[in-house]
Structure 1
Amino acid sequence: MLAICAGVALLQGNTGLAGAVRRRPLLLLALIGLTLFSLTNKLGIGMLDVHYWLPKTIEQLANVFRAAGRMFWPVFYILVFTLIFLVVRGNKPRAAVCLLAVALVVQVLDTRSGWAGLRKSRMMPTASSWPTPLADPFWARAANHYAKVRSLLPQNQPENWLLISQYAQNHGLETDSVYLGRMGTREIEHAQRHAGQMLATGQYEADSLYILDSRTALEAIKTVNRQTDLLTRLDGLVVLAPGWKTCTQCPPIAQETLDVQVKPGERQVFNRINAMLVSGWGRVEDWGTWSEGAQAELVLRVPPEARALSIEAAAFVQPLHTRQRIEVSINGVAALSTQLTRMQENTLELSLSPAIREAIAADGQVRVQFHLPDAISPKALGLGSDERVMALGLKSLTVN
């Protein structure tokens, strides 16, 4: 909208734009260079792709900056400033203010759907300190016993990295739970191999407290030395504390279990790593996680008064694949057989019958097994190259 007004002002002349550009030749050259760099040697116009050769040395140097498209941001800012410049120079002050005000209102309304959701999900209530769920006395005592707090497996931006790094900062501990702009490939591979050896042998560094994700927790269970090391869940995190049980100053932990205890009315979400996802689940996404393969399983604990599980789910259905049959059993007892024909807004209600509750009491855990005979990959349906065999999308679970 402003570009139309700016174009009229430019045609009328006397805006001084040409002189302003001539006085800034280096800026103009920089903007041209940034534009060419942002285009890269792989151009796409609609369905047309154009690629031209560049020496490998130049490509390697250019790859230092990763995403090339961001290099156009300064050019875009200058274009916006130029439009404002032309509107101001080409109109009387009152007219220019009105045009800019209208443009601002349109901009806010037009972009609101993007930033309003982010604001709602990211903004925190005003407080004098950052809230933390790490309320168990263990954390303060562990900070006095260990010099480091580490993630297994080490990776960039691991699950709960912000929570762990805050804990490390508050207690003066070293940590590898961070979010980095750059990482050395060989270094992270070496660190992961070393972590894999520790998990395989059950031998951990005595000066480090380890925070495990759900997958490494399952590996640690097999090799952990229960006589000396503590492996448990505290405040939602799986903790491995080497030598905790042989430390005379370290108090014992009353309940050692990795199972997720879900209270009645509590809603567990799956848009982050959750220890209930035992097998058959893919990577965690912003909304939840897809099943991968024809079988999947959840494991949790519920109180004796629990009578049902309610699961909010998506289904991988497409015009060429219109249904997903879902067969659910709990601790080996059939609980539900249904089919889903909608992509979203599906709810699976699993009643805990007397037979199921009896099986749960004997096992001590709730094992929810999904049989998914219609699981299929997007590639098999001609929907791209994704080879994941999907059926059920897990969003949340509530105990009633």
Structure 2
Amino acid sequence: VGHVRIWGPEEWPECGQGHDCTIEFGDQRIVQLLDQGWSSAEDWGIWSDGPQSTMQLLAGQGSYQLDIEAFPQKQADGQCDQALEVWWNEFAIGEQSFIGCESQLLSFDVPQDVVTDGVNDLRFAYRYALPPQEASQVANGDQRMLGVGFRSLHLSPAHDIGEESQ
């Protein structure tokens, strides 16, 4: 399986059809995929803004492994008790808690029966979303409600997810 990074016929990354795809959230073209609940893209990636975020992704029919590299927003006490819940086309595919405040890889299985051949809707929900000054305890006027900093999303075919054993 070859690793490709393409932005598709309309400058969208297209995933599936036997290949992996990686979306770097620091790429300014990411705005084409994002719907609601996001801040502006920065060099390192993008913050969620609010209790949930939505995006779209082109994918071929099949089952996948979804890997998200991300880190949680710190709380006022310096702790990170954050969780990320993921829906694919309004089907809950899992929830994972962050361990600590560092960047980490969270993996989710995407069964083939929830994947549409074409545009797919992804929704991310967070245990909390806080203004940056709550974590830093420095008033700076930033009104965003940060939950998770997204670095990248990697989608790879996983042919045994959601298929019955024979």
> Do both proteins adopt the same fold according to a TM-score greater than 0.5, normalized to the shorter chain?
yes
Superposition deviation, residue 319 in structure 1:
5.9
The residue type equivalent to 1:346 in the other structure is: Q
Structure 2: segments with no counterpart, 5+ residues = 1-5, 157-166
Distance 2:76 2:145 in 1: 17
* C-alpha separation in 2, matches of 1:327 and 1:359: 16
Name the SS for the 1:365 alignment partner: strand
> Does the 8 A contact of 1:316 with 1:393 survive in 2?
yes
- Tell me, yes or no, if the aligned pair for 1:306 and 1:399 is still in contact at 8 Å: no
Compute the displacement of 1:376 (Å): 0.7
CA distance in 1, matches of 2:92, 2:63: 17
Q: Distance in 1 between matches of 2:97 and 2:20?
A: 26
Q: Are 1:390 and 2:143 matched, yes or no?
A: no
Residue 364 to residue 303, structure 1, CA distance change in 2 (3 Å): closer
1:345 aligns with 2:103: yes
Matching of residue 281 in structure 1 with residue 38 in structure 2:
yes
Is the 8 Å Cα contact of residues 290 and 394 (structure 1) preserved in structure 2? yes
Match of 1:261 in 2: 14
* Fraction of identical pairs, as percent: 24
Distance 2:25 2:37 in 1: 14
Q: Residues 321-400 of structure 1: matches in 2 within 5 Å?
A: 321-353=79-111, 357-361=112-116, 364-381=118-135, 382-385=137-140, 386-400=142-156
Structure with more strand by fraction: 2
Which portions of structure 1, spanning 4 or more consecutive aligned residues, are displaced by more than 4 angstroms? none
Q: Is the 8 A contact 2:64 2:110 kept in 1?
A: yes
Amino acid at match of 1:337: E
Could you tell me which amino acid in structure 2 is paired with residue 294 of structure 1? P
Shift in alpha-carbon separation, 1:306–1:358, aligned structure 2, 3 A: closer
**Closer/same/farther in 2, CA of residues 322 and 394 from structure 1, 3 Å limit:** closer
Aligned residues: 142
SS at match of 1:266: strand
The DSSP-based 3-state class of the residue aligned with 1:379 is helix
Q: Which residue of 2 aligns with 1:176?
A: none
Q: How do 1:167-186 and structure 2 match up within 5 A?
A: none
Indicate the SS of the match to 2:71. strand
- Contact map agreement 2:51 2:129 (CA 8 A) in 1: yes
- TM-score, L = length of structure 2: 0.74
Identify if the C-alpha distance between structure 1 residues 341 and 375 changes in structure 2 by more than 3 Å, giving closer, same or farther. Answer: farther
Residue in structure 1 matched with residue 54 of structure 2 by the alignment: 297
**Alpha-carbon distance, 1:334 to partner:** 1.0
In our comparison, the structure showing a higher alpha carbon Rg is: 1
Q: Report matched runs for 1:149-168 at 5 Å.
A: none
Residue 281 of structure 1 aligns with an amino acid whose one-letter code is W
Give per-residue Cα distances to partners, 1:247-266, cap 9 Å, x unaligned.
xxxxxxxxxxxx53124322
Q: Give me the whole-angstrom Cα distance separating, in 2, the residues matched to 1:278 and 1:304.
A: 22
What's the TM-score, normalizing by structure 1? 0.33
Structure 1 residue 318 displacement after superposition = 4.3
Structure 1 residues 379, 295: closer, same or farther in 2, change over 3 A?
A: same
With CA pairs under 8 Å and 6+ residues apart, which has the higher RCO, 1 or 2? Answer: 2
Q: Provide the C-alpha distance between the structure 2 equivalents of 1:300 and 1:388, rounded to a whole number of angstroms.
A: 25
The Cα of 1:350 is off from its aligned counterpart by: 1.7
Instruction: Give the drift of 1:306.
Output: 4.4
Where in structure 2 are the equivalents of 1:108-187 lying within 5 Å? none
Q: Secondary structure at the match of 2:86?
A: strand
Shift of 1:305: 3.9
